[in-house]
Amino acid sequence: MCQIFAGQDPSNYEPTTRRLRLNGQSTSIRLEQSYWDILDTIAAAEGITTPAFVSKLHAEVLELRGEAPNFTSLLRCACLIHQGQAVPQPLAAE
Q: What is the CATH number of the domain that holds 67?
A: 1.10.3990.20
Domain count for the chain, please give it: 1
Instruction: Please report whether residue 4 resides in a domain.
Output: no
Helix (H) or strand (E) run with residue 56 in it = helix 50-65
Instruction: Please report whether residue 44 resides in a domain.
Output: yes
pLDDT at 24: 85
> Is residue 43 a contact partner of residue 53, using CB atoms and an 8 Å limit?
yes
pLDDT at 87: 63
DSSP lists the bridge partners of residue 30 as 17
pTM listed for this prediction: 0.83
Instruction: Please report whether residue 88 resides in a domain.
Output: no
What are the counts of helices (DSSP H) followed by strands (DSSP E) for the chain? 4, 2
Instruction: Please report whether residue 89 resides in a domain.
Output: no
Instruction: Please report whether residue 5 resides in a domain.
Output: no
Instruction: Please report whether residue 35 resides in a domain.
Output: yes
Task: Show Cβ contacts of residue 72 under 8 Å, excluding neighbours closer than 6 positions.
Answer: 29, 30, 31
> Is residue 1 a contact partner of residue 8, using CB atoms and an 8 Å limit?
no
pLDDT at 92: 62
pLDDT tens-place string over residues 15-35: 999 999 987 889 999 999 999
Query: Residue 29 belongs to what domain range?
Result: 10-83
Instruction: Please report whether residue 46 resides in a domain.
Output: yes
Instruction: Please report whether residue 3 resides in a domain.
Output: no
DSSP state of 31: E
Name which residue leads in pLDDT, 37 or 8. Answer: 37
pLDDT at 77: 93
